[in-house]
Every structure is written in structure tokens, then in C-alpha cells.
Amino acid sequence: MNSIMLLSLLFIGISFLVSMRLKSKFTHYSHLPITNGMSGKEVAEQMLRDNGIYDVKVISVEGFLTDHYNPMNKTVNLSPEVYSGTSIASAAVAAHECGHAVQHATAYNWLMLRSRLVPFVQFSSSIVQWVLLAGIVLLNTFPMLLLGGIILFAITTVFSVITLPVEFDASNRALAWLENKRVLVSKEQEGAKDALKWAAMTYVVAALASVATLIQYVLIFLSGSRNDD
């Protein structure tokens, strides 16, 4: 149990550092206007049109770095700074979220798989910590409870891992479009790539933390099983 706590603290620290770096990068590139003066809203709408998508709305939502694509109501949701901003960060984030809209429109395999897992992840996330805790406490008397918790946690881990190709692909689509349509000049393009790289790192850290924690729980279960023998 102590090893899991230490592992959690380690990844919390790494996640915090990556998050701070992302915010720093976003702030930096938010102060660098793009040459053509397009706002995030305009970038998003243009990318959607260029990909033949006309049933997705671009709207503004409250918050900082709350940008996301909602496949349920087909909306690209941009934070105020991205929606109205005319910076490198605004263009990069807006295009990235539209990358998800393009994935949805083209039935991108990894996105479709991720979407199908959502109900299972929502259920698993609501009870997994309690099942794992009870499973560790009752390991010597009811080891199958911990195994059940491991299976629930594995679902969330698979979800985290599947998220990686979805996010990287969305960024690749965004950067390719920004370059091909010459929305950004060369130096601005490099900035957009840097900003999206750090955004992707947050998902990488989350996936690694989930995989490492899952392995720890499996080792605890196997150790308990050997002790029973």
C-alpha cells in the first residue's frame, strides 16, 4: 500500500510540473499574435469548412483551458481566451479541438473505441477506489474483491492509453491543416507545435501513472495469493 502511495505522490508531482509548464507555454504563446489576425473562432470555423463539416457549432465556454469537442451535441467548445484570441495558442488549440471534430466525422477508429468505453469508465470511476481499498483490507479473506477492483481500474487505464492516439492524431491533423492552409507562418507554426506538444504531455503522464498504478495493484494481488498458498 505504501508503494502505491509513493507512486501516486511521484506522478502527482510530475503531473503538477507538466501542468505548470503547459500553463506557462500557453501564457507565452497567448501573447504572440498571428500574422493573419484570425481569432480562434475563425480558425475553428475555417478548419471545419475545409473538412466539409457544416453541422458542428463553435461556441465559447467559461474557464481556463476548458477547450473540448463534444460529440454528443457536435460543438467545438473554446475558452474565452481561445475563442476571441488572435494568438498562436488560440489558433493551435482551436485547430486541435476541430481535429477531434474531423475524427468524429470520419469515424476515426481510436475515437470510436474511446467513445464506446465512456459508459464503462463512468461506472468504474465511481466505485473503483472503494473496491480497491476494501480489496486490500480484505485481501487475506476475500482476494477476489481486489481482483474485481483491478479489473475496474484496468478499464480506466485502457481508456487513458487509448486517449493518447486520439490526442496525438488531433494535434497532427491540426498542425497539418494550419501549415497546408498557411494559417501560420513558419515561426508561428513551430510555436503551435510546441504548445500542442506540452498539452499532449499531460495525457502521457496520466496514462503512465495509470499503468504504473495498475501494475502495483496486480503485484499486491499476486503477493497476497502467494501468501495464501
Provide the terminal-to-terminal Cα distance of the chain, rounded to the nearest Å. 21
Out of 42, 97, 167, 188, which one is annotated catalytic? 97
Q: Is 138 helix (H, G, I), strand (E, B) or coil?
A: coil
Report the C-alpha gap between 51 and 180 in whole angstroms: 13
Clarify whether 179 is annotated catalytic. no
Report the C-alpha gap between 227 and 229 in whole angstroms: 5
Q: Is-contact 215 162, C-beta < 8 A? A: no
Half-sphere exposure of 193 (CA within 13 A, CB side): 12
Positions marked catalytic: 97
